[in-house]
Amino acid sequence: MDGTSATEQTREGPSASDAVVVTRGLTKRYRGGQLAVDDLCLTVPAGSVFGFLGPNGSGKTTTIRMLMGLIEPTSGTAHVLGRPMPRSARAVLPHVGALIEGPALYGFLSGRDNLLRLDAADPTADPRTGKARVAAALDRVGLTAASGKKARAYSLGMKQRLGLAAALLRPRRLLVLDEPTNGLDPQGMREIRALVRELATDGTTVFLSSHLLDEIEQVCTHVAVMARGRLLTQGPVAELAAGARGRLVVTTPDPADAARVLKEQGLGDVEADGGRVTAEPPARDLAEVNAALVTAGVRVRGFGVERASLEDAFVALTGEGFDVAG
Amino acid sequence: MSRAETVSVSVRPRPLWTLGLFRDELRTTFRRWRTLALLGVLAAVPVLVGIAVRIETGDGSSGGGGGGPAFVSQITNNGLFLVFTALAATLPFFLPMAVGVIAGDAVAGEAGAGTLRYLLVAPSGRTRLLLTKYATVMVFCLAATLVVAVSALAVGALLFPLGDLTTISGTRITFGEGLLRALLIALVVAASLLGVAALGLFVSTLTNSGIAAMATSVGLLITVQILDQIPQLHALHPYLFSHYWLSFADLMREPVHWDDLTRNLGLQALYAAVFGSAAWARFTTKDVTA
């Protein structure tokens, strides 16, 4: 992947050649006039676990549907595995496993027959190995014991697992998982997240949409943030969290003195709140700041930088909480 | 150029791929409770007709005079005529209604359940999926007709004598040839349903609600049947898919009158072509949001 020539980068912008998903100016306006996705430029690096974050109604699912060739963009382009969608859907999609807007099953068929049907729908899947692949996929999501039950008797969590199993019927190069832990209990969530990490270790690129910040933070290497159909930012998770910088926190019984010393040391945005004094962390070594405090006779109970969470980053980006877009 | 090679997506469909989905579609369709219920109703019609005729003629009268479906007066002489009667009785409504339900549900039902998106990303391919659906509905047309015919034959053999029979033209043919004609008639009846099937499939691509599509298909069927009964609209009649349906009786003439039979089959082909194309045009371009 890394060996691809630089000339390829000129066509679709930087790093398009080793990106698994590239969209340029992708826009979808529904017939009612509602702008669901607005001028989206997304680049999903190969091998990443790419978190696609945004409140409900921010255009995540519409984007995924465009990537999967289910709906036609109003304008702009989407490339998946280097091929344009939806034009190359039949060549691209056998390499893509997808869970879109929750599982959908044939209630009157058993779990196993549901998977066999989807396997039969894939013209590139070898029908001779179908049963074995279905059994392996069921095993992978822990549904082997329930595979003979009619799907209508499945709980939401089991349906979700079966949907995941469908995405894992064949070795995939890209997995698109839309809210994969919806409806799962905490144990199920942990299992699915472990599965996602495991798949990523195998080299599968995972595109994971979620409205759960901590889920993205736990699992993803990269993240894109959507709100109201627009992309707010994208990049490695660490960078984004660093973008909303952490705070230096000093716990002390002498907050007034501590605040004064921190200001003298040239730290910005100093705030005292009870026994806690916070400030923007300086570029230089924190040990010197600590030494200055102690030298000035400030009694220090705790001293350190509190890392900014993705939530902080999100609030910093949108200037608002994580509510449903109107 | 080089970008396409960067990610070598080399997928060659196998020669038998279409059949894999088709086989599964058949299996899925005929395992549905709804399908079995429809076939059950169709199988019951000849039983009811047979018993009714039996009771009616129990007093020694030949059952004629009262009108009713074609061939009904002949049943007491020969049980084989129950096949023709049953087909004549079910063709105007029961059979096309069943086909309308299955065809209407074909795409819209998958969309409503959300399974359509998973079939499409499998990827089934839109054209391939639509062809599979239409082929399956065609198989259902044949299966439904055969269910009526076989049920009628069984009931006819049970309640009435079998033997050589008289054609509409008055000539005698052997029971064996009669059976052959019955099979031929069943095939023609099944083919008569292809227009409704295409229409239903087209309706099915328009909505995400299986129920709405089924109701619309059946509603259209009833409307067309009514239009076909209004004499003032006779200029329109040759274009209504149901107009030549009962021409299958001409297969019981000696020699067979082919005029209306071929008109019927031609009309069905026309409907299949027009609404098949419309369904294709719609389905291959529509946004799948369900």
- Spatial contact of B57 and B110, defined as CB atoms under 8 Å apart: no
The amino acid at residue B105 is: D
Q: What is the pLDDT of residue A284?
A: 78
Chain A neighbors of B285, CB-CB under 8 A: 72
pTM beyond cutoff 0.80: yes
Chain B contact present for A203, CB below 8 A: no
**A:264-323 residues touching chain B, CB 8 A cutoff:** none
With respect to residue B167, please indicate whether it lies within any of the assigned structural domains: yes
| Euclidean distance between the first and the last CA atom of chain A, given in angstroms as a whole number | 41
With respect to residue B290, please indicate whether it lies within any of the assigned structural domains: no
Ranking A27-41, A280-294, B203-217, B230-244 by mean pLDDT, the lowest is A280-294
Q: Which of B117, B287, B205 is nearest to A30 (CA)?
A: B287
Q: What is the pLDDT of residue A203?
A: 86
Q: Of all helices (H) and strands (E), which one includes residue A264?
A: helix A255-264
pLDDT, one tens digit for every residue, chain B (290 residues): 334 334 444 455 555 556 888 999 999 999 999 999 999 999 999 999 999 888 887 655 544 445 566 677 788 888 899 999 999 999 989 999 999 999 999 999 999 999 999 999 988 889 999 999 999 999 999 999 999 999 999 999 999 888 888 888 888 888 899 999 999 999 999 999 999 999 999 999 999 999 999 999 999 999 999 999 999 998 988 899 998 998 888 888 888 888 899 999 999 999 999 999 999 999 999 988 87
Q: How far apart are CA B60 and CA A266, in angstroms?
A: 117
With respect to residue B62, please indicate whether it lies within any of the assigned structural domains: yes
**How far is Cα of residue A44 from the mean position of the Cα atoms in its chain?**
11
Mean pLDDT of A43-52: 92
Question: Is residue A219 scored above 90 in pLDDT?
Answer: no
Tell me how many domains chain B contains. Answer: 1
Q: How far apart are CA B224 and CA B216, in angstroms?
A: 12
What is the CB neighbour count within 10 angstroms for residue A200? 20
Q: B13 or A83: whose pLDDT is higher?
A: A83
Q: How far is CA B102 from CA A75, B136, B149, in A?
A: 37, 9, 20
What is the CB neighbour count within 10 angstroms for residue A56? 12
With respect to residue B2, please indicate whether it lies within any of the assigned structural domains: no
Residues A69, B120: C-beta atoms closer than 8 Å: yes
**% residues pLDDT > 70 (chain A):** 88
With respect to residue B44, please indicate whether it lies within any of the assigned structural domains: yes
With respect to residue B7, please indicate whether it lies within any of the assigned structural domains: no
Q: How many CB pairs under 8 A join A and B?
A: 127
State pLDDT tens for residues A121-173. 988 888 888 899 999 999 998 899 999 999 999 988 889 899 999 999 999 99
- Give A49→chain B minimum CA distance, Å: 19
Q: Is the peptide bond before A186 cis (omega within 30 degrees of 0)?
A: no
- Give A131→chain B minimum CA distance, Å: 13
ipTM, 2 dp? 0.84
State pLDDT tens for residues A221-271. 999 988 888 898 888 887 776 666 677 888 888 888 888 888 888 887 788
**How far is Cα of residue B36 from the mean position of the Cα atoms in its chain?**
15
Q: B267 or A317: whose pLDDT is higher?
A: B267
Q: How far apart are CA B45 and CA B152, in angstroms?
A: 8
Chain A contact present for B127, CB below 8 A: no
Where are the extended beta strands (E) located within chain A? 19-29, 35-40, 43-45, 49-53, 75-80, 83-85, 96-99, 174-178, 205-210, 222-227, 230-236, 247-251, 271-273, 276-279, 302-306
For A34, the 3-state DSSP assignment is coil
With respect to residue B6, please indicate whether it lies within any of the assigned structural domains: no
Closest chain A residue to B4 measured between Cα atoms? A82
Q: Which of A93, A102, A120 sits opposite B123 (nearest CB)?
A: A93
With respect to residue B8, please indicate whether it lies within any of the assigned structural domains: no
- Spatial contact of A244 and A253, defined as CB atoms under 8 Å apart: no
List the strands of the sheet with A247-251, edge to edge: A271-273, A276-279, A247-251, A302-306
- Spatial contact of B175 and B80, defined as CB atoms under 8 Å apart: yes
Task: Give A308's pLDDT tier (boundaries 50, 70, 90).
Answer: low
* Domain region containing B164: 14-285
Residues B11, A90: C-beta atoms closer than 8 Å: yes
